[in-house]
């Protein structure tokens, strides 16, 4: 643990992430051990609590998180998600306080169909991500997948749409962020609703 963080801080963050994971798993968005969540604990230096690798996301306990640095590397002990580096990159790039990564059918299907991005317009639910419901087009970026988190982070940075707190990774899933775990959850549910609507339209 670092001087500014205690085991209790990490346990409290773990309790929040365990609850959020159970919610997403109940929707079928984090099947098996897929998906991962994080919450920022400090900014300077950047430290995040990230869900541990290889755990059933519907059965996490407050202990199933790992403290990582701004490069996604474990600070103390434990094995974080392989995508912890991307969580840290998103937090640094966007100023987000929490990041959600889920594997939903709609995000994977539409990522294949719309490699240039998924456009939404005149949908009331856009208010859920802070956008007007009418007369504004908002694009959810889609980026090609990579097992190299540096490459994936560069693609996310290049494609990011500041009005949309999310990006689809083609063939993989959805990354969403917010100021807090609760806001990140709300954004995730709204963006997934938009994706499901688009999927049914086609």
Q: What is the pLDDT of residue 8?
A: 86
For residue 82, tell me if it sits in a domain.
Answer: yes
Using DSSP bridges, classify how beta strands 173-178 and 98-102 pair: parallel, antiparallel or unpaired. Answer: antiparallel
Mapped to the 3 state alphabet, what secondary structure does 157-193 carry?
HHHCCCCCCEEEECCCEEEEEECCHHHHHHHHHHHHH
For residue 154, tell me if it sits in a domain.
Answer: yes
What's the predicted TM-score (pTM) here? 0.94
Q: What is the pLDDT of residue 1?
A: 54
| Count of residues in the chain | 202
For residue 126, tell me if it sits in a domain.
Answer: yes
Give the H/E segment covering residue 21. helix 7-26
Q: What is the pLDDT of residue 9?
A: 92
Number of structural domains (the chain) is 1
For residue 53, the domain's CATH number is: 3.40.225.10
For residue 23, tell me if it sits in a domain.
Answer: yes
Regions of the chain with pLDDT less than 50: none
CA-to-CA dists, residue 10 to 68, 85, 98, 194, angstroms: 11, 18, 14, 33
For residue 104, tell me if it sits in a domain.
Answer: yes
For residue 1, tell me if it sits in a domain.
Answer: no
Cis peptide before 100, with omega less than 30 degrees from 0? no
**Domain hosting residue 191, numbered range:** 7-201
> What single-letter DSSP state applies at residue 10?
H
> What sign does the dihedral 172-77-4-185 (CA atoms) show?
positive
- The per-residue DSSP string of 39-95 comes to EEEEETTEEEEEEBTT--TTS--TTSEEEE-TTS-BSSSS-B-TTHHHHHHHHHHH-
For residue 63, tell me if it sits in a domain.
Answer: yes
For residue 178, tell me if it sits in a domain.
Answer: yes
Q: How many CB atoms lie within 10 A of CB 193?
A: 14
């Amino acid at each position: 643990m670092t001087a500014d963080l205690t085991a209790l801080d990490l346990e409290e963050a773990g309790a929040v992430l365990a609850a959020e994971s159970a919610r997403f798993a109940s929707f079928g968005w984090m099947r098996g051990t897929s998906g991962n969540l994080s919450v920022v604990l400090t900014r300077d230096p950047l430290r995040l609590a990230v869900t541990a690798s290889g755990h059933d996301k519907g059965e996490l306990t407050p202990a199933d998180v790992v403290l990582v640095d701004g490069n996604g590397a474990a600070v103390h002990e434990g094995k974080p998600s392989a995508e912890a580096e991307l969580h840290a990159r998103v937090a640094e790039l966007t100023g987000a306080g929490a990041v959600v990564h889920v594997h939903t059918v709609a995000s994977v299907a539409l990522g294949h169909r719309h490699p240039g991005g998924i456009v939404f317009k005149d949908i009331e639910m856009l208010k859920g991500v802070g956008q007007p419901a009418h007369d504004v087009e908002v694009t959810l970026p889609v980026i090609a997948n990579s097992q190299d988190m540096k490459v994936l982070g560069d693609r996310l940075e290049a494609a990011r749409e500041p009005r949309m707190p999310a990006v689809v990774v083609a063939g993989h899933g959805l990354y969403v962020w917010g100021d807090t775990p609760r806001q990140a959850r709300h954004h995730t549910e709204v963006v997934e609703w938009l994706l499901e609507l688009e999927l049914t339209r086609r």
